[in-house]
């Protein structure tokens, strides 16, 4: 009897143990919570990350996302030559400094004033046609096109960074930062935004002036010397201090990475506040000579836009726009005009949004003498010195009719500068002096008043200051039931 009780108790205990073990192997699972209503739209568009070796779920939390701090291929580093360079030969070393800061996503990685070194890679030969035309202007050593490359960057902490660059065609000028003319101030709710735009323009110009101040500017005596040397028929070639080159990267520069926090991700792509201003660079050259109304124009943000401490648009965001007004240069010194407007902004891996924009300031070669109106329209200006130069040429031509040998030299100077003056004096020929003087006066009149004017040219990687804000919704007219429109 006892054995049967023991056997029954053992069987009951085994059954209870098996049931308990089965319950432990299949515990009840709570349903997954629904996604939060304020899930970040930017992160929802990110590609899910693969499951790591630790066995974490494939969609890692935003705090573990990282952003690569990379200056991409195609980005241009703007370099100003800090000393005058006398062109000697291929391989000659050149030295400059950065005049625009370089950002990667939201971080400053190359400040203004960083040293940049490079060398001359090519000295192009002068074509026969150009050599002939310059000889008619008493210049027997016309300027050659100089090829450059910049291959090393030296940060303020002493770090040397090797780089591969190509100089953008159209760069290599002494550049000014031209700001748009101020419009009439109107009392409205937009006064604050207008004031912020004016402050952004002034700050952009101030930053540029400070960056260029690191150049050893030549004094008046030095400039006068260089001018006199340039009048000689045979003279050396120089690149002026203050000449700016756009060195386009042919390989990216890596500066590590940083975590992408949830707060940062939520702010990305937010509508920009009224009165915001961004710094961008053109992705392709634009010229009033070749552009047509409606042509697409793109630019890339070279600096991030913040709203306080919140990152709105990182470096690399794209601006999309178009040419809205264009007029090519014409004869009788009618200069070109160009106006571009950006109407969309697209953050990296984000959704484009409509914006209202205005061109507040832009880089331009001093030779263009560019002017921006209050709406951001650009027009090349003709220098007023043309009147003085033409008057001098006509005066020298008139003086050549005198009997004194020096009068022949004056006529020669009007037509062929120093070489013409020497020939005119030594020949003692009044007809020759008068002919050279008439040639010089006629050429001056043609060049300054009859020839084709100047076109507006913005090379690739030209920096711009652009005021942006959310595009206002166009109000719809309400119609009553009878179909008439309310006033």
Topology at the third CATH level for domain 69-182+192-382+453-470: Lipocalin (2.40.128)
Write the DSSP assignment of 306-319 as a string of letters.
EETTEEEE-TT-EE
pLDDT score at 18: 45
Q: Which residue is listed with tokens 């009147």?
A: 387
User: Does residue 111 have a pLDDT over 90?
Assistant: yes
pLDDT digits (tens, 9 = 90+) for 454-470: 999 999 999 999 999 88
Confidence of residue 375 (pLDDT cuts 50, 70, 90): confident
Percent of the chain with pLDDT over 90: 55
The neighbouring-strand residues paired with 146 are 123
138 neighbors 418 (Cβ within 8 angstroms): yes
Residue 379 has which token pair?
Answer: 């027009």
Residue predicted with more confidence, 253 or 61: 253
Confidence of residue 472 (pLDDT cuts 50, 70, 90): low
Q: Which residue is listed with tokens 């009618």?
A: 334
Return the domain boundaries, the chain: 69-182+192-382+453-470, 385-450
103 neighbors 315 (Cβ within 8 angstroms): yes
User: Does residue 2 have a pLDDT over 50?
Assistant: no
Question: How would you class 138 by CB atoms within 10 Å of its CB: exposed for 0-12, middle for 13-18, buried for 19 or more?
Answer: buried
User: Does residue 16 have a pLDDT over 90?
Assistant: no
428 neighbors 405 (Cβ within 8 angstroms): yes
SS3 427: helix
Closest CA to 377 of 367, 390, 362: 362
H/E stretch holding 277: strand 276-282
pLDDT digits (tens, 9 = 90+) for 133-178: 898 888 999 999 999 999 999 999 999 999 999 999 989 999 999 9
Residue predicted with more confidence, 233 or 136: 233
- The mean pLDDT of 60-89, rounded to a whole number, is 86
pLDDT digits (tens, 9 = 90+) for 437-449: 999 999 999 999 9
Half-sphere exposure (Cβ direction) of 403: Cα atoms closer than 13 Å: 0
Q: Of 125-139, 154-168, 216-230, where does mean pLDDT reach its minimum? A: 216-230
Q: Of 128-137, 145-154, 370-379, where does mean pLDDT reach its minimum? A: 128-137
- Which pairs count as long-range contacts for 57-62, CB under 8 Å and 24+ apart, including other chains? 61/262, 62/260, 62/261, 62/262, 62/265
């Amino acid at each position: 009897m006892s054995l049967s009780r023991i056997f029954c108790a053992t069987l009951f205990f085994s059954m209870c143990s098996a049931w308990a073990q089965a319950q432990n192997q299949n515990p009840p699972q709570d349903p997954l919570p629904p996604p939060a209503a304020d899930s970040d739209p930017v992160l929802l568009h990110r590609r899910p990350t693969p499951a790591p070796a630790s066995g974490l779920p494939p969609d890692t939390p935003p705090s573990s996302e990282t952003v690569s701090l990379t200056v991409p291929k195609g980005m241009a580093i703007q370099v100003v030559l800090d000393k005058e360079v006398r062109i000697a030969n291929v391989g000659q070393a050149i030295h400059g400094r950065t005049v625009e800061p370089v950002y990667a996503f939201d971080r400053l990685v190359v400040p203004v004033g960083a040293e940049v070194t490079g060398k001359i890679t090519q000295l192009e030969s002068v074509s026969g046609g150009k050599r002939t035309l310059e000889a008619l202007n008493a210049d027997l050593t016309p300027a050659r096109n100089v090829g450059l490359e910049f291959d090393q960057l030296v940060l303020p902490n002493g770090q040397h960074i090797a780089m591969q660059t190509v100089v953008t065609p159209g760069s290599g000028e002494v550049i000014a930062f031209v700001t748009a003319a101020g419009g009439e101030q109107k009392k409205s709710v937009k006064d604050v935004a207008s004031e912020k735009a004016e402050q952004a323009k002034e700050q952009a110009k101030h930053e540029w002036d400070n960056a260029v101040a690191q150049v050893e500017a030549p004094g008046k005596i030095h400039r006068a010397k260089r001018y006199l040397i340039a009048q000689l028929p045979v003279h050396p070639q120089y690149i002026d201090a203050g000449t700016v080159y756009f060195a386009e990267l042919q390989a990216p520069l890596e500066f590590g990475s940083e975590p992408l926090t949830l707060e940062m991700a939520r702010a990305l792509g937010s509508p920009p506040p009224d009165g915001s201003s961004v710094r961008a660079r053109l992705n392709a050259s634009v010229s009033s000579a070749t552009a047509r109304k409606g042509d697409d124009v793109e630019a890339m943000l070279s600096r991030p836009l913040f709203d306080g401490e919140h990152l709105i648009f990182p470096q690399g965001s794209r601006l999309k726009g178009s040419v809205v007004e264009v007029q090519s240069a014409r004869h009788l010194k009618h200069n070109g005009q160009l106006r571009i407007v950006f109407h969309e902004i697209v953050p990296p891996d984000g959704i484009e949004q409509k914006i209202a924009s205005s061109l507040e300031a832009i880089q331009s070669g001093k030779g263009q003498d560019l002017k921006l109106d209050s709406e951001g329209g650009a027009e090349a200006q003709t220098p007023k010195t043309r009147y003085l130069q033409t008057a001098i040429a006509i005066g020298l031509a008139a003086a050549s009719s005198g009997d004194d040998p020096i009068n022949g030299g004056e006529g020669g100077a009007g037509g062929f500068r120093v070489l013409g003056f020497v020939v005119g004096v030594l020949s003692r020929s009044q007809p020759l002096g008068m002919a050279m003087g008439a040639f010089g006066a006629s050429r001056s009149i043609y060049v300054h008043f009859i020839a084709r004017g100047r076109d507006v040219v913005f090379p690739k990687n030209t920096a711009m200051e652009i005021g942006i804000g959310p595009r206002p919704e166009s109000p719809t007219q309400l119609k009553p039931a009878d179909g008439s429109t309310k006033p």
